[in-house]
Structure 1
Amino acid sequence: MKILLGVDGTDTSLHALEQTVKRAKEAGDDVTVGIVTRDSDRSVAGTRSDVDEIIESSEIDVTVQHLDGDPGSQLVELAESEDFDKLVIGGGKRSPMGKIQIGSLAEFILLNSRITVSLIR
């Protein structure tokens, strides 16, 4: 399976990366990480460093790309233009009432992607 994973440097996206490479190692999946920038204090270099550290510890080959522009649009466009089987993103938490709450990036991707999306919490 050909998987695109969106990472924006948040803890949830890095957790999604850890889970995805773990599964990919077991399943033999092909993983590409798309690093996106958002309005945050996190630098691209810092995010790349964290991504590289997780990938090195996973002992599998992972392609890493930096995507400029609107994060949601860039991830959806890349996933569809390069025929990925699945787009994976981190995010979501439970409200006090037990309902899932997702951020604007995850919502955009879920509403606009034509391929399968997995949301890792």
Structure 2
Amino acid sequence: MYRILVGVETDEDRAMAQASMIESLPGASDEVTAILVHVFQDNPEGRSTPQLDGVRHAAAAFDEHGIDYEYYEASGEPAPELIAAADELDVDMLCLSGRKRSPTGKVVFGSVTQSVILGTDRPVVTVSPDE
């Protein structure tokens, strides 16, 4: 059994790219549990992870393909919280979908994906939605 942390934002296209990658794994419907994780930085509406558009679409795709999944949420800075969740949940891999940014944009705004890759010793797969 493989446990994969799926760091999901509200963006539906990125979430679907992540779901598609996981669905493509050999034996996904029998051997994989996807853990849909969202890190709230600001949540004035008080929503929970299953209420987010990206998460709902990924969960629907997993339902359609018979892939087990769980929800997990945290609050704080995304990169350290994703790394902590991966450790706490003892996942086998992380699946992230980054934004396209210029090198300057990464310096100014940071890159969650880059920070996670550099901050964990677990395998990280990154995907991007089809253009």
Q: Structure 2 length as normaliser, TM-score? A: 0.68
1:29 deviates by 0.8
Segments of 5+ residues of structure 2 without an aligned counterpart are none
**Mapping of residues 1-121 of structure 1, within 5 Å:** 1-11=2-12, 13-23=14-24, 26-27=27-28, 28-38=31-41, 44=47, 48-50=51-53, 51-59=55-63, 60-93=67-100, 104-121=111-128
1:83 deviates by 1.3
How far does the alpha carbon of each residue in 1:51-109 deviate from its partner, in whole angstroms, 9 at most, with x for none? 124313432331011111111111101102221100110015487xxx9x976111110
Percent same amino acid among aligned pairs?
Answer: 24
Provide closer, same or farther for how the CA distance between residues 24 and 7 of structure 1 changes in structure 2, counting only shifts above 3 A.
same
User: 2:50 & 2:40 partners in 1: Cα distance?
Assistant: 9
Name the aligned partner's letter for residue 55 of structure 1: A
What RMSD, in angstroms, separates the aligned Cα atoms of the two structures?
3.1
User: 1:54 & 1:83 partners in 2: Cα distance?
Assistant: 21
Provide closer, same or farther for how the CA distance between residues 75 and 15 of structure 1 changes in structure 2, counting only shifts above 3 A.
same
More strand by share: 1
Q: Structure 1 length as normaliser, TM-score? A: 0.73
User: 1:64 & 1:110 partners in 2: Cα distance?
Assistant: 22
Segments of 5+ residues of structure 1 without an aligned counterpart are none
Does structure 1 conserve the Cα–Cα contact (< 8 Å) formed by 2:32 and 2:68? Answer: no
